[in-house]
Structure 1
Amino acid sequence: MNNEMPPQVVRQQEIGKLRPNANPLVAHKFGADPYALVHNNRVYLYMTSDKLEYDPDQNPQKNSYQSINKITVISSEDLMNWTDHGEIKVAGPEGAATWASQSWAPAAAHCKINGEDRFYLYFANNASGIGALSAPTPTGPWSDPIGKELVTRETPGVEDVTWLFDPAVLVDDDNQAYLYFGGGVPKGKPEKPDTARVMRLGADMVSVEGKAEVIPAPFMFENSGIHKYNNIYYYTYCSNFFQVERDEDSPPPGEIAYMTSMHPMGPWTYQGTILKNPGHFFGIGGNNHHAIFPLGDQWYIAYHAQTLCQAMDIPEGYRSTHLNLVEYEEGSGRIKSIQADYAGVEQLKPLNPFHRVSGSTIGWSAGVTTHDMQEENDQGQSVNQNTVVSQLHAGSWIALSRVDFGEQGAAGFTAWLRSQAGPGVLELRLDSVEGDLIGTVQIPASEDGPEWTEGWTSITGAEHVHDLYLVLKSPDNHPNSNPCILLQQWTFEKA
């Protein structure tokens, strides 16, 4: 980990996700090609880990996508405050799938195998095939149960698919699962590429059965999506960018289109488009990638756009995930046109501060990064799952949206943290960076050793619902110090 400290600042500024907006979902890192898995009333988003690439002079350059071998996971139960679960090491020598070189555009599913919960992650090894990982929880630890690609050029029915990538998965009501994938445009066939596929998954979720069937998606390009609503199956995809004549019933370039069927393998009927290209809404285009999912009694679409990339004023190609509402027409079941924006969706419920909250849970932030930290047991052995922490420097802050302290309020606050430099002060404020001060945690200068310490402060003036700000500052008696802390988790005590 790089422990070099940035210049002393009074207060760092937020960028990308600006209060009170909900989009993009996070601004401390990128995340592309989102796929949603809802489990226990919480949505987990699995995203391609876009990372900045640099030229020899260390200037950011356009994303080449060639070095991506990890998948980022974030989750939320309120759709405003997102917990960063870090990165899944998927491809390469250090990944779960050592045979793979890349991990693009993940898809995830949950089912019970022999009475036990199992979670499955499907990913594209560039455009040459699709792999599968398995885990006992939505966040891991992940392993490769078959040690090879699940879908290859030898899989029946995929011989003519240009790009074997962008998986989507549906576990139907009868527990039969289906895998959707494919993309690309054969030469001379922009109107009818016939490169989308669907096939049955085996009961083990890591084998395929039978032959892949063609989904005749007009102007197909990439990004298969699948969901079921009122017993109708919706296959969604991104249309291609070829500049050819299109009639009014064809999807325009780079939009999310959809088809419907009464069976998960078709036949399919083309219905139209539902989401225009990101350039229409945000002034910066690129590819269009999405997933549709329900949470509570509402449906949502996760999609990516280069809004954070644009706000950072860096070369193009780095994508961030957004959310907006999905609505259906009564009777017909047609999906209404979706409006993408920075405002995003409403927070579903307040955040409960009286249980332990991960330090990597963020509504808005400034100057904050997150890190995966491999923890060790008492014998000095590494454990399988990472602890993900937030790193704050002087002037950095994290804001949590709509924290409910209740009528009686809070009496105390405990943070599990590790000082990397200091001393420092973690201020707790309400509703803004300079809002009412409700408590202060004094942080001593860093000491040798990897132990987490408990910082505590009494709390006054925190009742009812407020935004909560965690602000790291230098102590008044050490104005030139440059504190840096790792925040693992925190909780409040009831009054």
Structure 2
Amino acid sequence: MMRTHGFACLVAFSLAVDAQAENPIIQTRFTADPAPLVHDGTVYLYTSHDEDDARGFVMRDWRLYTSKDMVNWTDHGAVASLATFPWARQDNDAWAPQVVERGKKFYLYVPISVEGWPKNVIAVAVADKPEGPFKDALGHPLIAKASYNIDPTVFVDDDGQAYLYWGNPEPYYVKLNKDMISYSGEVTKAGPKLTNYQEGPWFYKRKGKYYLAYASTCCSEGIGYAMSDSPTGPWKQMNPLMEPNKASSGNHPGIIDFKGNSYVFGFNYQLNFAETPIHRERRSVTVAKFDYNADGSIPTQPWWNREGVKQLGTLDPFKRVEAETIAWTTAIQGGWDHTIDWAPCLKTEKDEKVGVYVTDVRGTCSIKVAGVDFAKGASSFTASVASGSQGGTLELHLDRADGPLIGSMKIANTGGWQAWREETMQVTGASGVHDLFLIFKGGRDEPLFNVDYWRFAKAEKK
């Protein structure tokens, strides 16, 4: 069922936006241990997940976010959980993951426990697509339990040989077989000893050099790295990639090249401290751009900044855009400048029929979508919505949460939280490239409505 609403007649700016991310890049959940994978022009960012009520480490699943521009990230929900490995402990210990591709299959490597720490193992699951679903590949551990089994990282070399590194407080490795779910030879300690190595290794190759980045010097943790001419060492410890910072007891690197740029991912506790001054294990993934030196070494980077990285390209609003595609979201507090405060105001959930959608939206909530290219103009906006309450109002603004209003529509009760229907409103004043703000208005005490996806229609040529 489609309904059409009136439009707000307000002239908008045709300002071109130099869009930029804001750290941390995910605000709808607490995320950690970033493991980026570049595949088919998209960054697939796999993360571990700190539960909302965690004080220590409480982690039960692994989640996926994707981006084509490094600024707008689309939530794909959990792609695996402890239930993927029914033989393992089920209440906790879904720690740092990594996914690699080989032979049109995608392999997920995770550390989990069978009897609780320190009896950890490394398990592997497999999927036909990078977004899963991932299924247990063995029905038992790949690496048998040991106290140092944590944070696996896998790399397939140019000659086809794959390597699995992991470990705390020292790194270990084995050579994986071509099937990626078994290995040959003995578990070997990497050497010589890296004096600032702690955990969280990230193994990769660039221009003939091998890199082993890692969380360093606990605690607080920075990021260190070592280089080698061989995938098995010997490793030369380099200058710190990032110095430790008292604001973060942990760290975990993930490094990629994407569209001609180099990026390092990690995490901080910014969203936790936005809620409370108390340190809790509720972390948030961050990213920074960097440039290699001519000799392949990496200059020491500043601590994670708030600004993040610049957008690569623009977003097409005339195609279906998942509502959970977000550059930044927060409740609007203390004025309309969303960079001042952060407060949770919505969630994302996953349904078998519709996939991931935005839910539990409260009044004065905002979603920013960066660098939207309206080209020569848009005439209407359509969203798939559902509401089991009194509903609320959805407003569209350009460039700022209090920027030019291009459209507003009332969304009523649709007959239930899964009673989806498309609602359409006319818009005016949207042309050129802008940041788009979806502003949700209504009562703050109960959810307003759910949103699954949205799209604009192009203005007709005159």
The answer to whether residue 107 in structure 2 is matched with residue 120 in structure 1 is: yes
Residues 69 and 89 in structure 1, CA contact (< 8 A), matched pair in contact too: no
Residues 61 and 81 in structure 2, CA contact (< 8 A), matched pair in contact too: yes
- Equivalent residue, structure 2, for 1:382: none
Residues 422 and 481 in structure 1, CA contact (< 8 A), matched pair in contact too: no
- Equivalent residue, structure 2, for 1:299: 262
| Matching residue within 131, 144, 148 for 1:163 | 148
Residues 85 and 388 in structure 1, CA contact (< 8 A), matched pair in contact too: no
- Equivalent residue, structure 1, for 2:122: 130
Assess, with a 3 A threshold, how the Cα gap between structure 1 residues 471 and 150 changes in structure 2: closer, same or farther: same
Q: Distance in 1 between matches of 2:452 and 2:153?
A: 33
- Equivalent residue, structure 2, for 1:172: 157
Assess, with a 3 A threshold, how the Cα gap between structure 1 residues 441 and 259 changes in structure 2: closer, same or farther: same
1:286 is displaced (CA, Å) by: 0.2
User: What is the Cα-based RMSD across aligned positions, in Å?
Assistant: 2.2
* CA deviation string 1:46-103 (max 9, x = no partner): 11111133xxxxxxxx6221x3111122111111111111123421xxx111122221
The answer to whether residue 287 in structure 2 is matched with residue 323 in structure 1 is: yes
Runs of at least 5 residues in structure 1 that lack an aligned partner in the other structure = 1-18, 54-61, 154-160, 185-194, 243-252, 377-384
1:481 is displaced (CA, Å) by: 9.9
1:239 is displaced (CA, Å) by: 2.6
Assess, with a 3 A threshold, how the Cα gap between structure 1 residues 271 and 433 changes in structure 2: closer, same or farther: closer
Relative to the length of structure 1, the TM-score reads: 0.79
- Equivalent residue, structure 1, for 2:377: 409
Structure 1 vs Structure 2: percent identity of aligned residues? 32
- Comparing 353-362 with 81-90, greater Cα deviation is found at 81-90
Instruction: Give the residue type in structure 1 aligned to 2:314.
Output: P
| Matching residue within 147, 151, 154 for 2:139 | 147
Instruction: Give the residue type in structure 1 aligned to 2:88.
Output: A
Assess, with a 3 A threshold, how the Cα gap between structure 1 residues 450 and 310 changes in structure 2: closer, same or farther: closer
* CA deviation string 1:235-258 (max 9, x = no partner): 11223338xxxxxxxxxx733221
Instruction: Give the residue type in structure 2 aligned to 1:148.
Output: H
- Equivalent residue, structure 2, for 1:49: 49
Q: Distance in 1 between matches of 2:258 and 2:360?
A: 30
- Equivalent residue, structure 2, for 1:259: 226
Q: Distance in 1 between matches of 2:153 and 2:369?
A: 32
- Equivalent residue, structure 1, for 2:33: 33
Runs of at least 5 residues in structure 2 that lack an aligned partner in the other structure = 1-18, 332-344
- Comparing 36-45 with 441-450, greater Cα deviation is found at 441-450
* CA deviation string 1:270-312 (max 9, x = no partner): 2231111233xxxx12012111111111110000111111111
Q: Distance in 2 between matches of 1:80 and 1:390?
A: 21
Assess, with a 3 A threshold, how the Cα gap between structure 1 residues 278 and 48 changes in structure 2: closer, same or farther: farther
| Matching residue within 87, 93, 99 for 2:87 | 99
- Comparing 345-354 with 298-307, greater Cα deviation is found at 345-354
Instruction: Give the residue type in structure 1 aligned to 2:276.
Output: D
Assess, with a 3 A threshold, how the Cα gap between structure 1 residues 369 and 204 changes in structure 2: closer, same or farther: farther
Q: Distance in 2 between matches of 1:468 and 1:424?
A: 19
Q: 3-state DSSP class of the match of 2:362? A: strand
Q: Distance in 2 between matches of 1:180 and 1:483?
A: 45
Assess, with a 3 A threshold, how the Cα gap between structure 1 residues 30 and 483 changes in structure 2: closer, same or farther: closer
Q: Distance in 2 between matches of 1:388 and 1:181?
A: 35
Residues 269 and 282 in structure 2, CA contact (< 8 A), matched pair in contact too: yes
Q: Distance in 2 between matches of 1:348 and 1:458?
A: 29
Instruction: Give the residue type in structure 2 aligned to 1:297.
Output: G
Q: 3-state DSSP class of the match of 1:139? A: coil
Matches within 5 A, 1:210-225: 210-216=185-191, 217-225=194-202
Q: Distance in 2 between matches of 1:171 and 1:489?
A: 37
Instruction: Give the residue type in structure 1 aligned to 2:34.
Output: P
Residues 357 and 450 in structure 2, CA contact (< 8 A), matched pair in contact too: no
Q: Distance in 1 between matches of 2:444 and 2:48?
A: 40
Q: Distance in 2 between matches of 1:372 and 1:135?
A: 21
* Larger relative contact order, structure 1 or 2 (CA cutoff 8 Å, min sep 6): 2
1:167 is displaced (CA, Å) by: 0.7
Residues 442 and 455 in structure 1, CA contact (< 8 A), matched pair in contact too: no
Instruction: Give the residue type in structure 2 aligned to 1:136.
Output: D
- Comparing 336-345 with 386-395, greater Cα deviation is found at 386-395
Q: Distance in 1 between matches of 2:177 and 2:150?
A: 19
Residues 199 and 265 in structure 1, CA contact (< 8 A), matched pair in contact too: no
Q: 3-state DSSP class of the match of 2:413? A: coil
Instruction: Give the residue type in structure 1 aligned to 2:234.
Output: P
Assess, with a 3 A threshold, how the Cα gap between structure 1 residues 97 and 421 changes in structure 2: closer, same or farther: same
Residues 196 and 215 in structure 1, CA contact (< 8 A), matched pair in contact too: yes
Matches within 5 A, 1:335-354: 335-339=298-302, 340-354=304-318
| Matching residue within 443, 447, 454 for 2:411 | 443
Assess, with a 3 A threshold, how the Cα gap between structure 1 residues 285 and 393 changes in structure 2: closer, same or farther: closer
- Equivalent residue, structure 2, for 1:494: 458
1:397 is displaced (CA, Å) by: 1.7
Q: Distance in 1 between matches of 2:359 and 2:158?
A: 39
1:229 is displaced (CA, Å) by: 1.2
1:21 is displaced (CA, Å) by: 5.4
- Equivalent residue, structure 2, for 1:75: 66
Relative to the length of structure 2, the TM-score reads: 0.85
- Comparing 292-301 with 338-347, greater Cα deviation is found at 338-347
Matches within 5 A, 1:334-413: 334-339=297-302, 340-367=304-331, 368-376=345-353, 386-406=355-375, 408-413=376-381
Residues 210 and 230 in structure 2, CA contact (< 8 A), matched pair in contact too: yes
Residues 64 and 76 in structure 2, CA contact (< 8 A), matched pair in contact too: yes
The answer to whether residue 166 in structure 2 is matched with residue 181 in structure 1 is: yes
The answer to whether residue 172 in structure 2 is matched with residue 197 in structure 1 is: yes
- Equivalent residue, structure 1, for 2:252: 289
Q: Distance in 2 between matches of 1:63 and 1:450?
A: 33
Assess, with a 3 A threshold, how the Cα gap between structure 1 residues 348 and 449 changes in structure 2: closer, same or farther: closer
Assess, with a 3 A threshold, how the Cα gap between structure 1 residues 173 and 420 changes in structure 2: closer, same or farther: farther
